[in-house]
Amino acid sequence: MGDVRVVSLPGDGIGPEVVAEARRLVDAVAPLDGVTVSWEEHLVGGCAIDATGGPLPDGVMEACAGADAVLLGAVGGPRWDTTDPDAPRPEQALLALRAGLGLFANLRPVRPFPALYDASPLRRERIEGTDLLVVRELTGGIYFGARGRREPEAFDTCVYSREEIRRVAERAFAAAAGRRAKVTSVDKANVLESSRLWREVVVEVAAGHPGIALDHMLVDNAAMQLVSRPADFDVIVTENMFGDILSDEAAMISGSIGLLPSASLGDAGPGLYEPVHGSAPDIAGRGVANPIATCLSAAMMLRHSLGAPAAAGRIESAVAQVLEAGHRTRDLGGALGTREVGDLLLAAATA
Protein backbone atom coordinates (compact mmCIF):
# COMPACT_ATOMS: atom_id res chain seq x y z
CA MET A 1 0.00 0.00 0.00
CA GLY A 2 3.00 2.34 0.24
CA ASP A 3 2.43 5.16 2.72
CA VAL A 4 -0.39 4.52 5.21
CA ARG A 5 -1.77 6.39 8.21
CA VAL A 6 -2.69 4.67 11.46
CA VAL A 7 -4.45 6.32 14.40
CA SER A 8 -3.04 5.15 17.72
CA LEU A 9 -5.37 5.20 20.74
CA PRO A 10 -3.24 4.01 23.70
CA GLY A 11 -6.03 4.59 26.21
CA ASP A 12 -5.78 3.76 29.90
CA GLY A 13 -3.81 1.56 32.28
CA ILE A 14 -1.28 -0.63 30.49
CA GLY A 15 -2.58 0.52 27.10
CA PRO A 16 0.21 3.04 26.42
CA GLU A 17 2.90 0.53 27.42
CA VAL A 18 1.75 -2.30 25.17
CA VAL A 19 0.86 -0.04 22.24
CA ALA A 20 4.38 1.40 22.33
CA GLU A 21 5.86 -2.06 21.78
CA ALA A 22 3.45 -2.84 18.96
CA ARG A 23 4.32 0.42 17.24
CA ARG A 24 8.02 -0.37 17.44
CA LEU A 25 7.40 -3.72 15.78
CA VAL A 26 5.21 -2.27 13.03
CA ASP A 27 7.74 0.44 12.25
CA ALA A 28 10.44 -2.22 11.90
CA VAL A 29 8.63 -4.84 9.82
CA ALA A 30 6.19 -2.85 7.67
CA PRO A 31 8.92 -1.32 5.44
CA LEU A 32 10.23 -4.83 4.78
CA ASP A 33 6.85 -5.45 3.10
CA GLY A 34 6.79 -2.16 1.21
CA VAL A 35 4.67 -0.20 3.69
CA THR A 36 5.59 2.95 5.58
CA VAL A 37 3.36 3.84 8.52
CA SER A 38 2.75 7.34 9.85
CA TRP A 39 1.09 7.51 13.26
CA GLU A 40 -1.41 9.95 14.73
CA GLU A 41 -2.13 9.60 18.45
CA HIS A 42 -5.29 10.62 20.31
CA LEU A 43 -6.82 10.31 23.77
CA VAL A 44 -9.79 8.03 24.39
CA GLY A 45 -11.36 6.46 27.47
CA GLY A 46 -10.70 7.46 31.05
CA CYS A 47 -7.69 9.61 30.25
CA ALA A 48 -9.87 11.55 27.82
CA ILE A 49 -12.53 12.03 30.50
CA ASP A 50 -9.87 13.46 32.79
CA ALA A 51 -8.51 15.77 30.09
CA THR A 52 -11.68 16.85 28.28
CA GLY A 53 -14.68 15.70 30.30
CA GLY A 54 -15.74 13.05 27.79
CA PRO A 55 -14.42 9.63 26.70
CA LEU A 56 -14.28 10.47 22.97
CA PRO A 57 -13.03 14.02 22.41
CA ASP A 58 -14.02 16.11 19.40
CA GLY A 59 -12.13 15.18 16.28
CA VAL A 60 -11.15 11.65 17.29
CA MET A 61 -13.93 9.94 15.34
CA GLU A 62 -13.10 11.98 12.26
CA ALA A 63 -9.39 11.16 12.57
CA CYS A 64 -10.15 7.45 12.84
CA ALA A 65 -12.57 7.50 9.91
CA GLY A 66 -9.92 9.11 7.71
CA ALA A 67 -7.17 6.66 8.64
CA ASP A 68 -6.21 3.34 7.06
CA ALA A 69 -6.46 1.57 10.43
CA VAL A 70 -6.83 2.20 14.16
CA LEU A 71 -4.72 0.54 16.88
CA LEU A 72 -6.24 0.66 20.37
CA GLY A 73 -4.67 -0.25 23.71
CA ALA A 74 -7.33 -0.51 26.43
CA VAL A 75 -9.88 1.72 28.13
CA GLY A 76 -11.37 1.86 31.59
CA GLY A 77 -10.44 1.29 35.19
CA PRO A 78 -11.96 1.52 38.67
CA ARG A 79 -11.29 5.24 39.03
CA TRP A 80 -13.97 5.89 36.39
CA ASP A 81 -16.46 3.26 37.56
CA THR A 82 -19.83 4.71 38.53
CA THR A 83 -23.45 3.70 38.86
CA ASP A 84 -24.57 7.18 37.77
CA PRO A 85 -26.28 6.64 34.38
CA ASP A 86 -25.49 10.22 33.36
CA ALA A 87 -21.77 10.10 34.17
CA PRO A 88 -19.30 9.55 31.31
CA ARG A 89 -17.70 6.09 31.15
CA PRO A 90 -14.52 5.11 29.29
CA GLU A 91 -16.25 2.21 27.51
CA GLN A 92 -18.59 4.67 25.79
CA ALA A 93 -15.68 5.66 23.55
CA LEU A 94 -15.23 2.11 22.33
CA LEU A 95 -18.94 1.60 21.68
CA ALA A 96 -19.12 4.91 19.82
CA LEU A 97 -16.12 4.05 17.65
CA ARG A 98 -17.58 0.66 16.72
CA ALA A 99 -20.90 2.21 15.76
CA GLY A 100 -19.45 5.30 14.08
CA LEU A 101 -16.97 3.34 11.97
CA GLY A 102 -19.49 0.61 11.11
CA LEU A 103 -17.38 -2.11 12.72
CA PHE A 104 -19.97 -4.86 13.00
CA ALA A 105 -17.72 -7.95 13.12
CA ASN A 106 -15.16 -8.65 15.82
CA LEU A 107 -12.70 -11.43 14.97
CA ARG A 108 -10.92 -13.11 17.87
CA PRO A 109 -8.62 -16.00 16.92
CA VAL A 110 -7.73 -18.53 19.61
CA ARG A 111 -4.74 -20.71 18.77
CA PRO A 112 -2.64 -21.81 21.76
CA PHE A 113 1.10 -21.81 21.22
CA PRO A 114 2.56 -25.31 21.72
CA ALA A 115 5.23 -23.80 23.98
CA LEU A 116 2.44 -22.71 26.34
CA TYR A 117 0.22 -25.78 26.36
CA ASP A 118 1.15 -26.40 29.98
CA ALA A 119 0.41 -22.77 30.93
CA SER A 120 -3.28 -23.21 30.23
CA PRO A 121 -5.60 -24.00 33.15
CA LEU A 122 -6.93 -26.81 30.93
CA ARG A 123 -5.09 -30.08 30.50
CA ARG A 124 -2.75 -30.31 27.53
CA GLU A 125 -4.71 -33.12 25.90
CA ARG A 126 -7.85 -30.95 25.90
CA ILE A 127 -6.32 -27.95 24.12
CA GLU A 128 -3.89 -29.59 21.70
CA GLY A 129 -4.90 -28.78 18.15
CA THR A 130 -7.22 -25.93 19.12
CA ASP A 131 -7.53 -23.37 16.33
CA LEU A 132 -10.81 -21.48 16.53
CA LEU A 133 -12.13 -18.09 15.55
CA VAL A 134 -14.87 -16.25 17.42
CA VAL A 135 -16.84 -13.89 15.15
CA ARG A 136 -18.81 -11.61 17.43
CA GLU A 137 -21.51 -9.21 16.26
CA LEU A 138 -20.38 -5.84 17.51
CA THR A 139 -22.87 -3.04 16.96
CA GLY A 140 -26.25 -4.50 17.91
CA GLY A 141 -27.92 -6.37 20.72
CA ILE A 142 -28.28 -5.40 24.34
CA TYR A 143 -25.20 -3.14 24.39
CA PHE A 144 -26.83 -0.81 21.86
CA GLY A 145 -30.52 -1.22 22.70
CA ALA A 146 -32.72 1.20 24.60
CA ARG A 147 -31.93 1.36 28.30
CA GLY A 148 -33.02 3.31 31.30
CA ARG A 149 -34.59 3.32 34.73
CA ARG A 150 -38.21 3.40 35.79
CA GLU A 151 -38.03 3.22 39.56
CA PRO A 152 -37.85 0.71 41.06
CA GLU A 153 -36.74 -1.01 37.81
CA ALA A 154 -33.96 -0.73 35.23
CA PHE A 155 -34.07 -2.12 31.69
CA ASP A 156 -31.73 -2.95 28.80
CA THR A 157 -33.24 -3.97 25.47
CA CYS A 158 -31.80 -6.57 23.10
CA VAL A 159 -32.79 -5.81 19.51
CA TYR A 160 -31.49 -7.34 16.27
CA SER A 161 -32.51 -6.77 12.68
CA ARG A 162 -32.24 -9.34 9.91
CA GLU A 163 -29.56 -7.27 8.18
CA GLU A 164 -27.41 -7.01 11.30
CA ILE A 165 -27.48 -10.78 11.68
CA ARG A 166 -27.00 -11.49 7.98
CA ARG A 167 -23.86 -9.41 7.54
CA VAL A 168 -22.00 -10.88 10.51
CA ALA A 169 -23.09 -14.39 9.53
CA GLU A 170 -21.74 -13.81 6.02
CA ARG A 171 -18.43 -12.73 7.54
CA ALA A 172 -18.32 -15.93 9.61
CA PHE A 173 -19.05 -18.21 6.64
CA ALA A 174 -16.43 -16.40 4.54
CA ALA A 175 -13.87 -16.98 7.30
CA ALA A 176 -14.81 -20.65 7.57
CA ALA A 177 -14.29 -21.11 3.83
CA GLY A 178 -10.59 -20.42 4.35
CA ARG A 179 -10.36 -22.63 7.43
CA ARG A 180 -11.99 -26.00 8.22
CA ALA A 181 -15.40 -25.18 6.72
CA LYS A 182 -17.46 -25.39 9.90
CA VAL A 183 -19.57 -22.70 11.59
CA THR A 184 -21.11 -23.03 15.05
CA SER A 185 -23.83 -20.46 15.65
CA VAL A 186 -24.37 -19.72 19.34
CA ASP A 187 -27.67 -18.35 20.60
CA LYS A 188 -30.35 -18.78 23.28
CA ALA A 189 -33.18 -19.71 20.94
CA ASN A 190 -34.98 -21.77 23.56
CA VAL A 191 -35.75 -18.58 25.51
CA LEU A 192 -35.08 -15.38 23.53
CA GLU A 193 -37.05 -14.17 20.51
CA SER A 194 -34.01 -12.26 19.24
CA SER A 195 -32.12 -15.55 19.27
CA ARG A 196 -34.87 -17.27 17.32
CA LEU A 197 -34.53 -14.62 14.62
CA TRP A 198 -30.74 -15.03 14.83
CA ARG A 199 -31.00 -18.76 14.17
CA GLU A 200 -33.49 -18.27 11.35
CA VAL A 201 -31.28 -15.79 9.50
CA VAL A 202 -28.10 -17.83 10.02
CA VAL A 203 -29.85 -20.82 8.43
CA GLU A 204 -30.78 -18.62 5.46
CA VAL A 205 -27.17 -17.48 5.08
CA ALA A 206 -25.91 -21.06 5.35
CA ALA A 207 -28.03 -22.01 2.34
CA GLY A 208 -25.79 -19.79 0.23
CA HIS A 209 -22.67 -21.59 1.44
CA PRO A 210 -23.32 -25.28 0.69
CA GLY A 211 -19.70 -26.26 1.33
CA ILE A 212 -19.77 -25.02 4.93
CA ALA A 213 -21.20 -27.18 7.73
CA LEU A 214 -23.45 -25.39 10.23
CA ASP A 215 -24.49 -26.42 13.70
CA HIS A 216 -26.33 -24.53 16.44
CA MET A 217 -25.47 -24.43 20.11
CA LEU A 218 -27.16 -22.77 23.07
CA VAL A 219 -24.86 -20.32 24.80
CA ASP A 220 -24.78 -22.12 28.17
CA ASN A 221 -23.81 -25.36 26.44
CA ALA A 222 -21.23 -23.49 24.34
CA ALA A 223 -19.61 -22.17 27.52
CA MET A 224 -19.17 -25.75 28.72
CA GLN A 225 -18.01 -27.15 25.39
CA LEU A 226 -15.37 -24.44 25.01
CA VAL A 227 -13.51 -25.78 28.02
CA SER A 228 -14.25 -29.47 27.50
CA ARG A 229 -13.52 -29.84 23.78
CA PRO A 230 -12.18 -26.56 22.32
CA ALA A 231 -10.36 -28.29 19.44
CA ASP A 232 -13.71 -29.33 17.95
CA PHE A 233 -14.65 -25.73 17.10
CA ASP A 234 -13.68 -23.94 13.90
CA VAL A 235 -15.65 -20.68 13.56
CA ILE A 236 -18.07 -19.56 16.27
CA VAL A 237 -20.51 -16.80 15.33
CA THR A 238 -22.67 -15.18 17.97
CA GLU A 239 -24.35 -11.99 19.12
CA ASN A 240 -22.71 -9.14 20.96
CA MET A 241 -23.00 -9.99 24.64
CA PHE A 242 -22.59 -13.74 24.20
CA GLY A 243 -19.50 -13.11 22.07
CA ASP A 244 -18.06 -10.76 24.66
CA ILE A 245 -18.30 -13.43 27.36
CA LEU A 246 -17.37 -16.50 25.33
CA SER A 247 -14.32 -14.92 23.68
CA ASP A 248 -12.87 -13.99 27.08
CA GLU A 249 -13.48 -17.54 28.25
CA ALA A 250 -11.80 -18.90 25.13
CA ALA A 251 -8.84 -16.59 25.73
CA MET A 252 -7.84 -18.58 28.79
CA ILE A 253 -7.34 -21.68 26.65
CA SER A 254 -4.10 -20.06 25.51
CA GLY A 255 -2.82 -19.68 29.06
CA SER A 256 -3.25 -15.93 29.44
CA ILE A 257 -5.63 -13.26 28.22
CA GLY A 258 -2.44 -11.28 27.54
CA LEU A 259 -1.86 -13.34 24.40
CA LEU A 260 -5.00 -12.82 22.34
CA PRO A 261 -5.55 -10.20 19.63
CA SER A 262 -8.70 -9.01 17.93
CA ALA A 263 -9.84 -7.17 14.82
CA SER A 264 -13.06 -5.19 14.45
CA LEU A 265 -14.09 -4.87 10.81
CA GLY A 266 -16.88 -3.44 8.70
CA ASP A 267 -17.73 -3.49 5.02
CA ALA A 268 -15.52 -0.50 4.26
CA GLY A 269 -13.24 2.00 5.98
CA PRO A 270 -10.59 1.38 8.62
CA GLY A 271 -10.52 -1.63 10.91
CA LEU A 272 -9.90 -1.26 14.64
CA TYR A 273 -7.36 -3.58 16.24
CA GLU A 274 -6.98 -4.17 19.97
CA PRO A 275 -5.88 -6.80 22.48
CA VAL A 276 -8.63 -8.80 24.16
CA HIS A 277 -7.35 -7.91 27.64
CA GLY A 278 -8.37 -4.87 29.63
CA SER A 279 -6.44 -1.95 31.08
CA ALA A 280 -5.05 -3.89 34.10
CA PRO A 281 -4.70 -0.78 36.30
CA ASP A 282 -3.11 -2.85 39.08
CA ILE A 283 0.08 -3.25 37.03
CA ALA A 284 -0.07 -0.05 34.97
CA GLY A 285 3.15 1.95 34.84
CA ARG A 286 5.28 -0.87 36.22
CA GLY A 287 6.61 -2.13 32.90
CA VAL A 288 5.49 -5.74 33.50
CA ALA A 289 2.48 -6.04 31.16
CA ASN A 290 2.51 -8.66 28.43
CA PRO A 291 2.65 -6.85 25.04
CA ILE A 292 2.09 -9.96 22.91
CA ALA A 293 -1.68 -9.57 22.42
CA THR A 294 -1.23 -6.01 21.18
CA CYS A 295 1.63 -7.02 18.92
CA LEU A 296 -0.50 -9.81 17.44
CA SER A 297 -3.33 -7.29 17.01
CA ALA A 298 -0.88 -5.15 15.04
CA ALA A 299 -0.10 -8.21 12.91
CA MET A 300 -3.82 -8.57 12.15
CA MET A 301 -3.85 -4.88 11.23
CA LEU A 302 -0.98 -5.36 8.81
CA ARG A 303 -2.74 -8.30 7.18
CA HIS A 304 -6.36 -7.10 7.05
CA SER A 305 -6.03 -3.31 6.62
CA LEU A 306 -2.53 -2.36 5.49
CA GLY A 307 -1.84 -4.95 2.80
CA ALA A 308 1.33 -6.25 4.43
CA PRO A 309 0.80 -9.98 5.04
CA ALA A 310 4.51 -10.78 5.03
CA ALA A 311 5.11 -8.23 7.79
CA ALA A 312 2.22 -9.76 9.75
CA GLY A 313 3.81 -13.18 9.37
CA ARG A 314 7.10 -11.84 10.71
CA ILE A 315 5.42 -10.69 13.92
CA GLU A 316 3.51 -13.94 14.37
CA SER A 317 6.63 -16.03 13.78
CA ALA A 318 8.58 -13.83 16.19
CA VAL A 319 6.02 -14.43 18.93
CA ALA A 320 6.23 -18.19 18.42
CA GLN A 321 10.05 -18.09 18.47
CA VAL A 322 10.25 -15.99 21.62
CA LEU A 323 7.82 -18.22 23.50
CA GLU A 324 9.50 -21.40 22.23
CA ALA A 325 12.79 -20.05 23.59
CA GLY A 326 11.22 -19.94 27.06
CA HIS A 327 10.85 -16.17 27.44
CA ARG A 328 7.90 -15.24 29.65
CA THR A 329 6.23 -12.24 31.24
CA ARG A 330 4.77 -12.44 34.74
CA ASP A 331 1.32 -13.53 33.63
CA LEU A 332 2.97 -16.63 32.13
CA GLY A 333 5.08 -17.38 35.18
CA GLY A 334 8.20 -15.54 34.04
CA ALA A 335 9.98 -12.37 35.06
CA LEU A 336 10.50 -10.40 31.85
CA GLY A 337 9.12 -6.90 31.49
CA THR A 338 7.17 -5.28 28.69
CA ARG A 339 10.15 -3.62 27.05
CA GLU A 340 12.32 -6.73 27.34
CA VAL A 341 9.76 -8.84 25.51
CA GLY A 342 9.39 -6.07 22.93
CA ASP A 343 13.15 -6.13 22.34
CA LEU A 344 13.10 -9.92 21.86
CA LEU A 345 10.18 -9.71 19.43
CA LEU A 346 11.87 -6.93 17.50
CA ALA A 347 15.09 -8.92 17.14
CA ALA A 348 13.27 -12.07 16.02
CA ALA A 349 10.98 -10.25 13.58
CA THR A 350 13.83 -8.47 11.81
CA ALA A 351 16.36 -11.29 11.78
Give catalytic residue positions. Answer: 143, 188, 220, 244, 248
Q: How many angstroms separate the CA atoms of 140 and 160, rounded? A: 6
CB atoms within 10 A of CB 119: 19
Q: What 3 state SS string does the chain have? A: CEEEEEEEEEECCCHHHHHHHHHHHHHHHHHHHCEEEEEEECCCCHHHHHHHCCCCCCCHHHHHHCCCEEEEEECCCHHHCCCCCCCCCCHHHHHHHHHHCCCCEEEEEECCCHHHHHHCCCCHHHHCCCCEEEEEECCCHHHCCCEEEECCEEEECCCCCHHHHHHHHHHHHHHHHCCCCEEEEEECCCCCHHHHHHHHHHHHHHHCCCCCEEEEEEHHHHHHHHHHCHHHCCEEEECHHHHHHHHHHHHHHHCCHHHCEEEEECCCCCEEEEECCCCCCCCCCCCCCCCHHHHHHHHHHHHHCCCCHHHHHHHHHHHHHHHHCCCCEHHHCCCECHHHHHHHHHHHHCC
